[in-house]
Amino acid sequence: MKGITLSQTKIFCTTFLIIFFSYSAMGRSIHPVKDDPPEISDKAKHKKPAKITTICLDAGHGGRDAGARGRKSTEKQIALEVVLKLGKKIEKELPGVKVIYTRTEDVFIDLYARPALANKHNADLFISVHLNSFSRQAARGTETLVCGFGRMDEQDVAIRENASILLEEDYEENYGGFDPSDPSSYIVFSLMKREYRDQSIKLASLMQDAYTKNSRRVDRGVKEQSLAVLATAGMPAVLTEIGFISNPSEEDYMMSAKGQSEIVQNIFNSIKNYKNSVERK
């Protein structure tokens, strides 16, 4: 299975410029065209899996990219701990489901290489685990993101998460000149990710329901953001922000064995419920 190529990305960039200036002139918000989505992969074009047999788990950041920092911990550290525990639970409690990890230790992985690994292994789901951060310590709760294009002034999470691109060698070549600090260029990613939007939103909604109903976390909702790590995944894909590392109480919760156990259980329940709904059809 192949993801989006560099040449295709450049084509999307050109398409974006045409759409952007046309719609800006009319004073309208920009949304990708629904009836002609770009080709993501052979699986997207020919096959919708009747069973969930392979799940790719992605621990955000890693190595020289620490991600967000709290008083006592880093995003890369907690995300990896949660992902490894989640993977073990899936392998133990969902017989026949294989888990692929983008990283199992503290190493830096290029953003484009993460969904590429999922594509290579024909994964049925791609789940990226991250921690949120904000200037106000009072900010708290969970939110789960799918690849899309919201308002330009609401792309703050995307800008922060996509900033990892700047740590990659040859990042301009890898992403066709994409500038992670410029929200107006983010529609390129939303144009690349249409095939599995509904399934991704369904999985994301199940995650938010699990967090709020089972652990009484603050629900910040399911949001569409233009995220490089999700854009070329040839399967339903979500990025889940499990809490605010900038909030001292949430940081303590996410560092604790109890907190991580609850987070893992919530994500696992959402995967299991999604799997059951897919396999009933």
Residue 168: what pLDDT? 58
Residue 64: what pLDDT? 95
- Mean of per-residue pLDDT scores for the chain: 78
Residue 180: what pLDDT? 54
Cα separation, 148 vs 223, whole angstroms: 8
CA separation (Å) from 237 to 126, 207, 233? 5, 12, 7
Residue 24: what pLDDT? 33
pLDDT at position 229 over 90: no
- H/E stretch holding 59: strand 54-59
Residue 225: what pLDDT? 83
pLDDT interval class at 77 (50, 70, 90): very high
Cα separation, 93 vs 204, whole angstroms: 21
pLDDT at position 280 over 80: yes
Residue 15: what pLDDT? 43
Average pLDDT on 174-181 reads 56
What is the per-residue pLDDT across 36-64, written as a single tens digit (0 to 9) for each? 333 444 444 444 557 999 999 999 999 99
The CATH number, out of the four listed (3.10.20.30, 3.90.920.20, 3.40.630.40, 3.20.20.70), of the domain defined by the range 6-280: 3.40.630.40
Question: Domain extents for the chain?
Answer: 6-280
pLDDT interval class at 195 (50, 70, 90): low
Average pLDDT on 103-128 reads 94
Average pLDDT on 121-138 reads 96
Q: What is the DSSP string of the chain?
A: -----HHHHHHHHHHHHHHHHHHHHHT------SSSPPP--HHHHH---SS--EEEEEE--BTTB--SB-SS-BHHHHHHHHHHHHHHHHHHHSTT-EEEES-SSS----TTHHHHHHHHTT-SEEEEEEEE--SSTT---EEEEEE----GGG-HHHHHHHGGGGGSTTHHHHTTT--TT-GGGTHHHHHH--TTHHHHHHHHHHHHHHHHHHH---EEEEEEE--HHHHT-SS-EEEEEEEETTSHHHHHHHHSHHHHHHHHHHHHHHHHHHHHHHHH-
Average pLDDT on 57-82 reads 97
